[in-house]
Amino acid sequence: MDIAPLQPGLSAEITTVVDDSLVVRHMGGEGVLSTPSMIGLMERAGIQAVQAVLPEGFTTVGFEVNVKHFAATPKGMKVTVRAELLDIDGRKLRFKVEAHDDEKKVGDGTHRRAVVQIQSRS
């Protein structure tokens, strides 16, 4: 497997509106962006940052998340997550991840993924 096209600095950004599928309501009101939803968006951004340069038949799987979610984003507000590839150790990739809403930074940390071959279904 040639992962030469993978280079630090590859990045992707996802912007979405916080809707019912992304919120928890135990905080009251219409709900706020849940931590698992924020992490899921960060993982998706990591996938998007590198998928286009991976060899055919390969993808990535997440195996570590180390993030802090330190501010609430209300339903209806936009949230933007960004993942940037920091370094590569064999098949293991480490990303810097961040989340911002329209007003502030709401989360950050690191996320690790491994390059794996897609299993064919028999």
User: Helix or strand or coil: residue 27?
Assistant: coil
Tokens at residue 92, please? 């293991």
Query: 13, 15, 16, 35: which is the annotated catalytic residue?
Result: 35
Q: Rounded distance, CA 59 to CA 111, Å?
A: 16
Cα–Cα distance for residue pair 6/8, rounded to 1 Å: 7
How many helices (H) and strands (E) are present in the chain, helices listed first? 1, 7
Distance in angstroms (rounded) separating the CA atoms of residues 63 and 102: 29
Distance between CA atoms of residues 111 and 87, nearest Å? 11
Active-site residue flag, 98:
no
**Which of 69, 73, 84, 111 is the catalytic position?**
69
Active site (annotated) includes residue 35: yes
Residue 13 is a catalytic residue: no
* Residue in 13, 16, 30, 43 annotated catalytic: 43
Q: Would you name the residues annotated as active-site residues?
A: 35, 43, 69
